Amino acid sequence: MNPRDELLEQRIAGLERRIAYLERIVKVSQILNSTLSLEPLLRIIIQSATELTHTEACSIMLLDKRTGELRFAHSIGEGSEGLRNVTVPLDNSIAGWIVRQGRPLLIRDAKTDPRWHPQVDEAIEFDTRSILGVPLKVKNEVIGVMELLNKIGDRGFSQDDIQIASTLAAQAAIAIENARLLAELQHAYDDLAELDQLKSNFVSIASHELRTPLAVILGYASFLREEVSGEAGEQLEIVLQSAMRLRSIIDDMVNLRHVDTGEVQLERDIFSMKDLITEVTSEFAQLARAKQQVMHLDLPDDPLKIDADRQKVYLVLANLLSNAIKFTPSRGRVQISAQKKGEEVWVSVMDTGIGIPQRDYNRIFDRFYQVEPTLTRRYEGMGLGLSIAKSMVELHNGRIWVESVVGKGSRFTVALPISPFRAVPVATS
Ligand code: ADP
């Protein structure tokens, strides 16, 4: 073969090696993108590393931050199964040097190197000759080392080998970091689930334990209120009001818990929405009168018959009405209107109150969300009413939304299907 052909052949062989290398890197990247399980990925990384660099063995060691030692995470080669419980110190070891320096190290004759740590070879009866070690880095922090052992043939490790090892070590580092993040996330989810359970238990015990004494207070206070007049009567009225507020908070908590645990079931009945609105409004008339507010009803002749859970719809309307009165200043106006719209009944509660900024239109339906931060609030409340109302409306396959102008007032609208069988659920706006 003439020298030109020989050169050409060498070049072709070099290019073929490069293609094989690139193919492996692409394959590792594909696997990295498609799986979050560490084991198969590390296996293919170290397998690729030994094949592409022509070495006898390869291992990945990870730094154990608590003990400050390196532990074998994965390895292939003779005796590698025995490495599971073997550790390597950071002091006086080649791997330790790589971790501390954060750069690759190439050693032709390991046993003559002063950093040589013979215990690993002794533990698994392996004979290390040459080593190529590269650090595993995550955001500039070294988390471990990948070592390739015993280059096959006479040539020794090349620059290409260092590049291959570095690229694969980078992939391994990403995989390890992903797995760590995933485990952390899982841990956080577990903690959250446990907290949620604790909260649920607490709410159920607390509400149960509070209800009985509260019923006694309410009973005696109402009885005495009838009997006593004058200043003592006014003071009793305050006791009664506070106890009723406490009861409504407990009811809110119990309702939410039932929504969470899926215990809420609809007890359907055909009733007149018009009658229900009249009933709720008369319950709140006294509250509005105390604030000298005008309450106006705008209802059609149609009784607005609907097949729904009357008590739950009552709860929705009571929440809306109580908010309208609460967030509207004295002498303001609150209006309730209702009409049939296609296969639905629409009920709107309008007020001339403080209004709600547009960015909060959706958030006010979240639990505990209040437009004004709790600590600076001028209004009472826990931020639960609307989230309960929304859950109840959605149980009926209905929708609830708000339109408002800050400083002018708000309009909350509830759209409920007249019959559950003709419900056309539409996403909430
Ligand atoms: P709460 O009234 O107990 O704070 P809600 O869930 O009923 O809780 O309401 C959440 C928040 O939405 C309220 O804190 C208030 O900021 C706002 N909001 C509700 N209704 C009105 C309304 N009619 N006018 C102005 N703001 C309202």
225 and 275 in a single domain? The answer is no
Ligand 1 contact via 318 beta carbon (within 6 Å):
no
Cα–Cα distance between 407 and 166 in angstroms, integer?
63
Cα(395) to ligand 1 centroid in Å equals: 21
Q: Is residue 195 assigned to a domain?
A: no
Would you say the CB of residue 386 lies under 6 angstroms from ligand 1?
Answer: yes
CATH code of the domain covering residue 10: 3.30.450.40
d(CA 158, CA 10): 16
Same domain (yes/no): 138, 224: no
Torsion of CA 116, 118, 119, 123, to 10 degrees: 140
pLDDT score, position 426: 54
* Pairing mode, strands 294-298 and 333-341: parallel
The CA distances from residue 380 to 100, 110, 241, 327, 377, in Å, are 59, 75, 13, 10, 7
* Residue that is last in its domain, among 185, 217, 234: 185
Q: Tell me: pLDDT of 106 over 90.
A: yes
pLDDT above 80 (res 424): no
Q: Does residue 356 have its Cβ closer than 6 Å to ligand 1?
A: yes
Give the pLDDT score at 427. 52
Q: Which ligand 1 atom is the nearest neighbour of the CA of 353?
A: 24
* Last residue within a domain, chosen from 185, 220, 235: 185
Asked if residue 197 is part of any domain, the answer here is no
**Measured from the CB, is residue 46 less than 6 Å from ligand 1?**
no
Q: Is 395 part of a structural domain of the chain? A: yes
Domain co-membership, 79 together with 176: yes
Task: Indicate whether 218 and 161 sit together in one domain.
Answer: no
**CATH code at 408?**
3.30.565.10
* Same domain for 225 and 162: no
Whether the CB of 166 sits within 6 Å of ligand 1: no
Which ranges of 380-429 would DSSP assign to H, the alpha helix?
Answer: 385-395
Determine which helix (DSSP H) or strand (DSSP E) holds 355, and give its type and residue range.
none
Distance 53 CA to ligand 1 centre (A): 67
161 found inside a domain: yes
Question: Which residues span the domain enclosing 220?
Answer: 203-261
295, 364, 379: which to mutate for ligand 1, most atoms within 8 A of CB?
A: 364
Q: Is pLDDT above 70 for 422?
A: no
Residue 429 lies in a domain: no
Specify the ligand 1 atom closest to the Cα of 354: 25
Return the ligand 1 atom nearest residue 387 CA: 6
Residues 6+ apart with CB under 8 A from 184: none
255 and 360 within one domain: no
Please count the structural domains in the chain: 3
Find the 374 Cα to ligand 1 centroid distance in Å.
12
Clarify whether residues 362 and 380 are in a common domain: yes
Average pLDDT of the residues of the chain: 89
Q: Residue 115 falls within a domain, yes or no?
A: yes
Q: For 340-394, what is each residue's pLDDT tens digit?
A: 999 999 999 999 999 999 999 999 999 888 898 765 667 878 788 999 999 999 9
On whether both 62 and 18 belong to a single domain, the answer is yes
Tell me which residue of 180, 100, 94, 170 sits closest to 138, measured CA to CA: 170
The confidence score (pLDDT) of residue 429 equals: 46
In whole angstroms, give the CA distance from residue 67 to residue 109.
29
* Ligand 1 pocket residue status of 364, Cβ below 6 Å: yes
What is the Cα–Cα distance from 339 to 333, expressed in whole angstroms? 20
| Ligand 1 closest atom vs CA 372 | 16
Compute the chain's Rg from CA coordinates.
37
For ligand 1, is residue 381 a contact (CB within 6 Å)? yes
Nearest CA to ligand 1 atom 11: 370
- Report yes or no on 139 lying in a domain: yes
Q: Clarify whether residues 36 and 141 are in a common domain.
A: yes
CA distance 107 to 101: 15
Which residues have CB under 8 Å from 409's CB, separation 6+?
Answer: 328, 332, 350, 351, 352, 353, 355
By most ligand atoms within 8 Å of CB, the mutation choice from 259, 386, 392 for ligand 1 is 386
Amino acid identity, residue 190? D
| Residue 77 near ligand 1, beta carbon < 6 Å | no
CA distances from 195 to 76, 81, 186, 199, 383 (A): 43, 41, 14, 6, 20
Find the angle CA(182)-CA(183)-CA(185) to the nearest 5 degrees.
65
Domain match, 273 and 386 both: yes
- Ligand 1 pocket residue status of 370, Cβ below 6 Å: yes
| 118 and 248 part of one domain | no
> 299 and 396: one domain?
yes
Mean pLDDT for 90-113 is: 94
Please say which residue of 220, 243, 261 terminates a domain.
Answer: 261
Mutate to test the pocket of ligand 1, among 352, 370, 414 (most ligand atoms within 8 A of CB): 370
In a domain, 193, yes or no: no
Least reliable range by pLDDT among 219-223, 229-233, 325-329, 378-382: 378-382
Residue 132's beta-bridge partner residues? Answer: 106, 148
pLDDT digits (tens, 9 = 90+) for 122-167: 888 899 999 999 999 998 899 999 999 999 988 889 988 999 899 9
Give the pLDDT of residue 318.
Answer: 94
User: Do residues 320 and 300 make contact, with C-beta atoms less than 8 angstroms apart?
Assistant: no
Contact call for residues 408 and 351 (beta carbons, < 8 A): no
